[in-house]
Structure 1
Amino acid sequence: MNSQWALDRAREGLLAGVDEAGRGPLAGPVVAAAVILDPRRRIRGIRDSKQLGEQARRHLAGKIRSVALAWSVAWADVEEIDTLNILEATHLAMRRALLGLRVRPAHVKVDGNRCPSFAGLALGCSFEAIVGGDRLEQCISAASILAKSTRDHMMTALDTIYPHYGLAKHKGYGTAMHYRALARWGASPIHRRSFAPVRLALEGRPASWPGA
């Protein structure tokens, strides 16, 4: 049997979901995940990561890693976010995650209203952007869980290096605690200098928390 023919037949019907976590925070990387679920092994409880508590996300992330046909997590760091802008950095992380899959899918569903450019990557699959896909498509929900749980772990680790900001609590998002820390301590190396509250803190005129 031709090995390429066998590989093509095995790929038929394989569906990957792609999602990100961390577009909005003032600090830390943006993380993306790609997941190909095994249709023969259902994982109960998978849904949009924003609808799950932290403990449930950790539990489901472990199940996804052990049961999925393939999964991959990647990110773009703060320097890439500030250089490219957050949308392009998010798309870069998504491309990296998809390229990290050990199995190539036939079709990819991406959460959002547009797909990253995969030109020149020779992936040989079709792509589809789905608004609200993390609520509608289980493969995207699984990707959102992996991306969110991975990023939360990264931010908790960064909290031990930069303890003044409360990163383990708010994961870099713009909370009142975070704004107060920026006003007192200024920006750290992991803060996104292209984001207005961070830029203002660097200029010595920190912004007020919007909810104040």
Structure 2
Amino acid sequence: MTAEVKVAMEEVAKKLTLWHTRTFQPILTHDDLEPIMLTSGFVPLPVNEAAAAGGGGMAWKEYKYRAATWEMLPRPRLPYPRIDGLHLMAYKAFFLALEFYLGAHLVSDLFHVRTMSLTKAQDRAIDRTYRPMRDCEMEVEEEWLFVYRNGTLDNFTKMFCDKDEEDDSISEKGLKKISHGNSNSPANLMNFIALKDLLPSSDITGLS
């Protein structure tokens, strides 16, 4: 990759990041995520160093629902330690596992996905660390290039999402694009949640 291409990529590349809906703060590591998961009824499990086939040796951390009585139930999981800059499919799989226990409505009250600019402090060696995100179901303007960290999308995540698509049960409440922002602030570039879902609600009659 030439220096010119690398600079161009840094200028147009955007990564996806998990945000805490109620505090409107980005969640970049499991240290940020774990307290939210604990208050939602999930306990962290030891980090799994043996990634699923195709995971590139990436460590993964899973969360178990306290009230779950059957070991074969789905567990929310994300790469460890960083959870920013993942493929859209990785966030979908995380949301789907949460929705199994909490329902789509409460999950969107907890989390949503937004884009952020890459920074040299967090995202060094962009050309070697990140890969373009293709066929990611996002309607984006041509000047943006969406990327994800290499090695963070494993076959287990792909199969989990593919199976759910076959069942036609994916909820898009936390992954719905509504607008592009005009500000250079990362929080205003684009989001994937309906505005009404940003407001916490005690109405749980619509749980699926």
TM surpasses 0.5: no
More helix by share: 1
Say which one has the larger Rg: 1
TM-score by length of 2: 0.27
Superposition TM-score, scaled by structure 1 size = 0.26
